[in-house]
Structure 1
Amino acid sequence: MRDFALAPRTISRSSGGLADSVFERAELDPTLPVLARRPEGSSGAWQEVTAVELRDEVVDLAKGLVASGISPGHRVAIMARTRYEWTVLSYALWTVGAEVVPIYPTASREQVEWILHDAGCVAVVVEDEQAVMTVGSVCASLPRLRHVWQLDADALDDLRERGRVIPLATVESLRRIVLPDSTAVVAYTSGTTGRPLGCALSHRGLASPVDILLEGWRHITAAPGEQPSVLAFLPFSHVYGLMIQGVCIRGGLLMAHEPDLDEEALAAALQSFRPTYFYAVPSVFEKIYKNFLRAAQQSGRGALFERAADTARDFALACERQRLGEGPGPGFDLRLQHALYERTVYRRLRAALGGRARRATSGGSTLNRELSLFYEGIGVYVHDGYGLTETCGGITMQPLGREKSGTVGRPLPGVDLRVADDGEILVRGPSVFQGYVNDEAASRAALYGGWLATGDLGRLDADGYLTITGRKKDIIVTTSGKSVAPAALEHRLRMHPLIHQAVVVGDNRPCVGALLTLDPVFLAHWRGVLVAQQDPSVREAREENALREEIARAVAAANSTVSRSESIRVFRVLPEPFDLANGLLTPSMKLRRDEIVRRYAMEIDAMYQARSAGARRTPEEDLLNWDDSDNVFR
């Protein structure tokens, strides 16, 4: 094994609970805007909420919770999108020592029932009537559940009114007995296989990475003299969203909420709020890039965009080599070309993020190196970090001035990180979770000698930068005995604008294959361009052939990054995407691989049979005869 830890070691400044930061900020800087909200149903101007106003809202709501019988240690579920009330409610619950149990609002009836039962929740907060009906349908199996509060039915106003009889001293006394090692959140894993497990996360654990990031990186979140601002749109039901909320509240960043995840709503919110710092998951960065490309092609500037994108990546690569001491930096011609595109292209691209963001963070899964270099080249460096629910969020980050794209950075101060002989990443530090609720066996399996076995595979380079290579359980073993990590191939496939999703398969098969879905928006654009260039009488056949050839080129480009034995030899394009509605994505947008393989077993069989028809061969002989990618479309 090889160890690496980043010095100096630091300890979270937390001496109480997470709610203390709301009260401390109100005392130190009462007029500082900390939240921004819009009137319900409005897309107009944002209204700022000061630190003292937030504290007063939290106190009033905390009183209502006490009046409703919520006590320290009680678990209350929040089943809502990323909205203003989520933040106020979570800090009110932490004020009285209660534990928050986040539930994705898109969770199924079975998932809701399991989480509420397993966590022993005494109350649940939902958004609308439909969610009330979902909870109501499982109440019979939840003897501990006493309250169902509906946000859209003025439940919080009712709680505030009920709490008028509770003295402030009661709330203050409850807040002061919350200890750093008390459980703050029970966050359930996405459940890609089997039932989700509840991770017990302490106040100290959640505060630790937040405080370290604020200490070392807060100054990059805005221009000097400007208050940093963040638009929160990813689910607070995921630890990544919770960490961003913590960074904003503890660090005094102005935070706004956008509950709708569709492109139009997010784009409008970015334009109106204009955050100084942007955060997202890789699929969002991929989608934004494809939208840039599509818009350029539709305006007849596709070739200009591609040249500008190539220049951006070349410029970022030269800058990276310079800061790592491996090169002199961009030459005169490259600087001149980059400056030209800055005036004509890059500044317009940054405007899509509101125009003020110069840095961003990607999390949830790894970001493609080429995409990272592109964003750096246009003037928005994306810090790719690594973390998981069991570590309360981030445990690595790019060191300032020594950033290296394609990696997830180096361990945060105070975090020990080790890569085992089989490539599994092991972590030890103050943010590691307390264990899985009601499952001691799973806790013992994950925590050994103080080390958390993450289930992720990775490698450390000579300078201590971590590269994620995949998930241990996702490794594919072909019939020839070749082990293949699918993540790199899938990342490269998704870089093609036509490809929306990719799942690499091949367990106990003669070679590696792939299931692909297409981006419907870009496909429509691609078809439109093709139609304009063809004779209508032969359009349909030529269009199908052209699409096959284009996808085959995307597969060949992905194959160029791996060895021949790891390359994709067969693929199939599916007619519909993997999404929440069909149960093939987790709420945190991760692929349910086992379910996808089960659901499309017939298609996978047909994909391989189409190329293996003929004489019997040994597995080795069979592999040697898979020379070209299969372009079978369903």
Structure 2
Amino acid sequence: MHPLEVVRPARPLMQGGLADSLFETAERDPTLSQLARRSDAAPGAWEPVSAVELRDEVVDVARGFIAAGIFPGHRVAVMARTRYEWTVLSYALWSVGAEIVPIYPTSSHEQVGWILEDAGCVAVVVEDEQGIMTVGSVCASLPTLQHVWQLDSGALTDLMEQGRSVPFTTVESMRRIVLPDSTAIIAYTSGTTGPPKGCALSHRSLASSCDTLLAGWGHTVAPPGQQPAILAFLPFSHVYGLMIQGLCMRGGMLMGHVPDLRPETLSAALLSFRPTFLYAVPSVFEKFYKNFLRKAQEAGRGALFERAVRTARDFAAAGERHRLGTGPGPGFDLRLQHALYEKTVYRKLRAALGGRVCGAVSGGSPLNRELALFYSGIGIFVHDGYGLTETSGGITAQPVGREKFGTVGRPLPDMEVHVAEDGEILVRGPAVFQGYINDETSTRAALYNGWLATGDIGRLDSEGYLSITGRKKDIVITSSGKSVAPAALEERLRVHPLIHQAVVVGDNRPCVGALITLDPDFLAHWRSVLAIPGEVHDRETREENALREEVKRAVAAANSTVSRSESIRVYRVLSEPFDLANGMLTPSMKLRRDAIAHRYAAEIEAMYQSSSRAPRNLSTVDPYTWDDADNVFR
């Protein structure tokens, strides 16, 4: 199982809760810039908040919670985007021993009602009027709910005012009775196959992953002598986002918040905040790449960019071979080409991300190997890791200096990983959750002798590097009995700039198929670049034919990575994306495969029936005789 050999944290054995680290930092280094918040006076500027200023604000809000009757063990939901107040709220609640129940602000009223009732929340903090309306629509059925606070209406100020009569020593007394094994978070799963389940995560489990990562990787997040600066834009409603917050607060990093994930907003924030390190998910890295390509093509430098991409990947691949002892490293010609593109292309790409990014971490799902090679080749080493809600986010990471692209690294110290005979990944260690609240049956099914059945499938190589191949419940089994893991195909399709989303289907079908959505931004750019002359009708026909060919090439590229029996033989391009509004995505942006299959059942049926070679009896067809469907656009 090859756990990583990492120097253990210098931090003493944990005695209390997560809030202690803030108080310790404020005592040890009161002027350290802990957070940065947007300046009201100068748009685009950031104002630092020192450790002692943050601690004092947290204490004042905690006093307000005490005055409102929030005490140890009470559960308080936070339903807001990633913003400055989220951090103040979480440390204030942990200071009084309360348990936080994160809720995605985009959740439906049914989801919100279920979580608030299942967790027995006594209070909820929402962001805006929409949140008030959502909670208001379900509060009649929530007898334990006593308070609803709204951030945009001055909730923090109101709490501070309400708590003026509460002594500081009361907060100190309550903070000091919080134990490491006390529950800190009730994090609800995405609910892709039924109602969400609440994972109880302790202060110790959340701190364990953070401290291990800081010990082994803390030196990589900024150049020597610089304070690390992290721009938090992933949702704190997800354990990955909370882990980023924990890393910053426990590691003395400067953290800024971005609640709006629209590309133009995130781009502006990167340029103004200038982070030294990025924590993101694969879709963000994919979007950055597509934006780089689009802008290069708009500037008439598309061919130059593509040559630079190939050189970056070749350079990174040669570096990987040298790093792993299987090759000599980049040759003279490759180093010369790379140096040329460093001056003309790569440094401009890094400048678009703020100009100071020296590395990154990708989590949430595996990062495409080619994309990882590209970023490494332009000077941004992306460490791909693996974790779950049930493990407080940390299971594996790439060993520094021995990174292997296309894998998620090796088990962290104190974490054990085993792959069962059926390919399911089992894990054990201090970061594993306490269990699902109010669901002993699911807890027993997930935990056996301390081992957590992750539901993911994968493989360990001879050096202990883990590769994730998909979710056990997502495996597609064709009518011929062929088992296909859809994740790799879907990931490979999304690499193409025009492809936004892809869902592989084919259960009880003669071959593998796919539902595809297009990236609207890149599609508009692609049409403008194509600029086919002629009459409107003729131009539209030729444009559609060109688009068909481009999608066909994307499917062929994805198929080149798998055997013929696993390849996509039929597909449909849909006219709308899978999103939260139409119920096709979970709040954590995961595909609701069952919902997609149900909604697009007619399209899936037509996709298989439309093949000109398809016989009437689909169950007996030989998949090797199938070709791509002629009419793939809907």
Question: Which residue number in structure 2 is paired with residue 524 of structure 1?
Answer: 524
The alpha carbon displacement at 1:40 in A equals 5.4
Measure the CA separation in 1 of the matches of 2:384 and 2:189: 21
Q: Which runs of 5+ in 1 are unaligned?
A: none
Checking the alignment, whether the CA contact within 8 Å between 1:555 and 1:629 is kept in structure 2 is no
Match of 2:311 in 1: 311
**1:288-303 pair list within 5 angstroms:** 288-303=288-303
Kindly provide the CA deviation profile for residues 494-545 of structure 1, in whole angstroms up to 9, marking residues without a partner as x. Answer: 0111110000000000000000000111111111122256665621111111
Where do 1:352-501 residues align within 5 Å?
A: 352-501=352-501
- Structure 1 pair 174–614 and aligned structure 2 pair: CA distance change class (3 A): closer
The AA in structure 1 aligned to 2:59 is V
User: Superposed, which structure 2 residues align to 1:579-590 within 5 Å?
Assistant: 579-590=579-590
Aligned to 1:166: 166
Which residues of 2 match residues 51-450 of structure 1 at below 5 A? Answer: 51-450=51-450
Identity in percent: 74
**Counterparts of 1:464-613 in structure 2 under 5 Å?**
464-532=464-532, 536=536, 538-611=538-611
Q: Which amino acid aligns with 1:329?
A: G
Cα deviation code 1:24-74 (max 9, x no counterpart): 000110000000001459633100000111110111111111111000000
Secondary structure in structure 2 of the residue aligned to 1:444 = helix
- The 2-side partners of 1:412 and 1:395 are apart by 6
Amino acid at match of 2:254: L
Q: Which runs of 5 or more structure 2 residues have no equivalent in the other structure?
A: none
Q: Scaled by the length of structure 1, what TM-score is found? A: 0.98
Kept after mapping to 2: 8 A contact 1:571/1:630: no
Q: For 2:279, what is the secondary structure of its paired residue?
A: strand
Mapped to 1, the partners of 2:355 and 2:15 lie a distance apart of 38
Give the 3 Å change call, closer, same or farther, for CA 623–125 of structure 1 in structure 2.
same
Shift of 1:443: 0.2
CA distance in 1 between counterparts of 2:131 and 2:190 reads 19
Deviates more, 1:547-556 or 1:332-341: 547-556
Paired AA for residue 305 in structure 1: F
Q: Give RMSD over aligned pairs.
A: 1.5
Deviation by residue 1:280-322 (Cα, 9 ceiling, x = unmatched): 1100100110111111111110000000000000000000000
Mapped pair 1:36 → 2:3 = no
Question: Which amino acid is 1:591 matched to?
Answer: L
CA apart distance, 1:386: 0.2
Find the residue that maps to 1:165 and give its secondary structure.
coil
- State the 1:616 CA deviation: 4.5
CA contact (8 A) 2:308 2:345 kept: yes
Cα separation, 1, equivalents of 2:460 and 2:29: 42
3-state SS of paired residue (2:181):
coil
Q: 2:394 is paired with a residue of what secondary structure?
A: strand
Structure 2: distance between partners of 1:313 and 1:340: 15
**Structure 1 residues 17 and 404, CA, compared in 2 at 3 Å: closer, same or farther?**
same
Return the letter of the residue paired with 1:296. Answer: A
Alpha-carbon distance between aligned partners in 1 of 2:265 and 2:619, rounded to the nearest angstrom: 51
Provide, for residues 156-176 of structure 1, a one-character-per-residue CA deviation record: whole Å limited to 9, x for no partner.
111111111111111111001
Alpha-carbon separation, structure 1, partners of 2:418 and 2:366: 18
Report deviation, 1:384: 0.6
**Does the 8 A contact of 1:569 with 1:630 survive in 2?**
no
* Cα distance change, pair 201–303 in 1 and its aligned pair in 2 (3 A): same
Taking the aligned partners of 2:224 and 2:113, their CA distance within structure 1 comes to 48
Amino acid at match of 1:114: W
The alpha-carbon deviation at position 9 of structure 1 amounts to 8.9
How far apart in 2 are the matches of 1:313 and 1:253? 31
Aligned to 2:20: 20
> What is the letter of the counterpart of residue 72 of structure 2?
P
The answer to whether the 8 Å contact 1:568/1:629 transfers is: no
Q: Give, in angstroms, the shift of residue 149 of structure 1.
A: 0.4
TM-fit CA distance, 1:10 = 5.3
Tell me whether 586-595 or 512-521 shows the greater mean CA deviation: 586-595
**In 2: Cα distance, 1:519 partner to 1:398 partner:** 31
Contact 2:232 2:241 in 1 (8 A): yes
In 1, Cα distance between equivalents of 2:82 and 2:618: 54
Distance in 1, Cα, partners of 2:628 & 2:122: 58
2:3 corresponds in structure 1 to: 5
Amino acid at match of 1:491: E
Residue 629 of structure 1 deviates from its aligned partner by: 5.3
Q: Note if contact 2:4-2:399 (Cα within 8 Å) is conserved in structure 1.
A: no
Deviation at 1:558, TM superposition (A): 0.6
Three-state SS of the structure 2 residue aligned to 1:491 is helix
The answer (yes or no) to whether the contact 1:201–1:433 under 8 Å persists in 2 is yes
SS in 2 for 1:570: strand
Cα distance in structure 2, aligned partners of 1:400 and 1:10: 15
Q: Secondary structure at the match of 2:610?
A: helix
Call closer, same or farther: CA 1:201–1:535 in 2, change over 3 Å. Answer: same
Q: Distance in 2 between matches of 1:381 and 1:539?
A: 43
Does residue 1:625 correspond to 2:615, yes or no?
no
Task: Please say if residues 190 and 588 of structure 1, whose CA atoms lie closer than 8 Å, have aligned partners that are also in contact.
Answer: yes
Separation in 1 of the partners of 2:578 and 2:42? Answer: 32
Counterpart contact for 2:611–2:628, Cα < 8 Å = no
Aligned-partner SS, 1:87 = helix
Q: Is the 8 A contact 1:184 1:202 kept in 2?
A: yes
CA contact (8 A) 2:565 2:624 kept: no
Structure 2 distance, partners of 1:418, 1:247, is 27
- Superposed displacement of residue 279, structure 1: 1.2
Change (3 A) 1:81 1:40: farther
- Give CA deviations for 1:545-577 in whole Å, capped at 9, x if unaligned: 111111111101111110010000000000000
Q: 1:41 to 1:427 in 2, by over 3 A?
A: farther
Cα separation, 2, equivalents of 1:578 and 1:628:
23
Q: Is the 8 A contact 2:199 2:390 kept in 1?
A: yes
Aligned 8 A contact 1:571 1:607 in 2 = yes
Is the CA contact (8 Å cut-off) linking 1:427 and 1:452 kept in structure 2? yes
Task: Tell me the CA shift for residue 619 of structure 1.
Answer: 4.3
**Aligned amino acid, residue 528 of structure 1:** S
Local SS of the residue matching 2:164: helix
Kept in 1, the 8 Å contact 2:58–2:88? The answer is yes
Tell me if structure 2 keeps the 8 A contact 1:470–1:487: yes
1:5/1:413 contact within 8 Å kept: yes
For residue 581 of structure 1, report the CA deviation from its aligned partner: 1.1
Shift of 1:614: 5.8
Task: Identify if the C-alpha distance between structure 1 residues 613 and 403 changes in structure 2 by more than 3 Å, giving closer, same or farther.
Answer: closer
Number of aligned positions between the proteins: 632
Distance 1:401 1:548 in 2: 43
How far is the alpha carbon of 1:625 from its aligned partner?
A: 1.7
Larger deviation, residues 583-592 vs 26-35: 583-592
> 287-296 or 31-40, which moves further after superposition?
31-40
Structure 1 residue 631 displacement after superposition: 4.7
Identify if the C-alpha distance between structure 1 residues 394 and 40 changes in structure 2 by more than 3 Å, giving closer, same or farther: farther
Distance 1:109 1:464 in 2: 44
How big is the shift at 1:583?
Answer: 1.0
- Output the CA distance in 1 between the equivalents of 2:539 and 2:490: 31
